[in-house]
Amino acid sequence: LDGVLEIRRMPGKKHETVKQRISTLLDLYLEFGGIDFTPTGSVTLESETGRVKREADLSYELGPNQELPDLVVEVVVTSGGIDKLEAYKRLQIPEVWFWENCRLRLYSLGADGYAEVDRSLVLPDLDIVLLARCINIENHLQAMREFKQAIQGS
């Protein structure tokens, strides 16, 4: 961001476990909802005019033939570093989610930048409380089963 390079250590088990859990649950939700999506993982996003290059932990294109993701997810285990919301604002990413301290925070891009929101604007029917609860379940299979049962029952 603006010529500042962020150097991070390789992600640890906690980071990777949470990242995979979020990915699995989102994939289940999108498939069940019949939403056309492409998971683009940690693809490098950049804008030379915006002087920014960023790799999210997860990213999703919702719909066919997108140039940039509609949603990026950051799993935060350690603090510090560049202003990620400023980086994503310059990239014009519609929605950014942060998982930090066992809590999911959602930010939606508007005319004045990002604002924290209670519901996803790109996935308005997604129950964020359910998603966060299932991300926090220790057993991966149990988390998948509970989430799948809840979305199929609603």
Residue at 138 is within a domain: yes
Average pLDDT over every residue of 58-84: 84
Residue at 4 is within a domain: no
pLDDT bracket for residue 41 (50, 70, 90)? confident
Return the number of other C-beta atoms located less than 10 Å from residue 146's C-beta: 16
Domain span holding position 132: 13-153
State yes or no: pLDDT of 154 exceeds 50: yes
Average pLDDT, the chain: 87
Q: What is the pLDDT of residue 153?
A: 84
Q: Which CATH number do you get for residue 48?
A: 3.90.1570
The pair of three-digit structure tokens given for residue 71, joined into one six-digit string: 């949603």
Q: Which is more confidently placed, 87 or 70? A: 70
Give how many domains the chain has, as a whole number. Answer: 1
Say if residues 29 and 77 touch (Cβ distance below 8 Å): no
Q: What is the pLDDT of residue 1?
A: 43
Q: What is the DSSP letter of 73?
A: E
Say if residues 69 and 56 touch (Cβ distance below 8 Å): yes
pLDDT bracket for residue 79 (50, 70, 90)? low
Percent pLDDT > 70 in the chain is 86
Residue at 5 is within a domain: no
State yes or no: pLDDT of 80 exceeds 60: no
pLDDT digits (tens, 9 = 90+) for 46-63: 776 667 777 889 999 999
Count the residues in the chain. Answer: 154
Q: For strands 103-110 and 37-39, give the pairing.
A: unpaired
Residue at 3 is within a domain: no
